[in-house]
A = this chain, B = another copy of it.
Amino acid sequence: MDSKTKLRKAGLRPTKQRIAIADILFNGINRHFTAENLHNDIIQSGKQMSLATIYNCLNKFKNVGLISHLQSLGETYVFDTNVEHHHHFFNEKTGELIDFRPGDIHVKKFPKLPKGYKSSGIDIIIKLIEKN
């Protein structure tokens, strides 16, 4: 499916800029990227586009489910007085974080690691919403 069709189906107007972005993003290979990354790619390809447009488009794409964004713990740097290795519950409504001990969770099956690498740690976030 071409980018124009894809955008229309998602309920977005296929503007020149959105098509250019979709052409880069939806070539079949998944990728992780920042607004700046994408902007560089576009500029490099000889096109011109304002960074604000990149943000506008990516936020639209995200809202209609064409892309996602990685769960980060909010926009700011969060410190923790707990210096032991531990994991977190994350209250989605309030943003509150609660610790739990690594011993309270047990990972049985482990994914195959990329060749030449070993695990240096694992971070688990369990998101919470109110029951009922």
**Is A16's beta carbon under 8 Å from chain B?**
no
Given A104-B109, A111-B104, are A76 and B117 also a contact pair (CB < 8 Å)?
Answer: no
The one of B26, B116, B129 that contacts A81, using a Cβ cutoff of 8 Å: B26
Q: How many copies of this protein are present in the complex?
A: 2
**Is A83's beta carbon under 8 Å from chain B?**
yes
**A: which residues have CB within 8 A of B?**
25-26, 30-36, 38, 58, 62, 65-73, 76-83, 87-89, 91-92, 96-101, 104-114, 116-131
Given A81-B67, A106-B109, A107-B106, are A128 and B122 also a contact pair (CB < 8 Å)?
Answer: no
Specify the chain B residue showing the minimal Cβ separation from A84. B68
Residues of B near A100 (CB, < 8 A) are 111
Q: How far does the Cβ of A49 sit from chain B's closest Cβ, in whole Å? A: 16
Cα-based distance from A124 to B124 in the complex (angstroms): 5
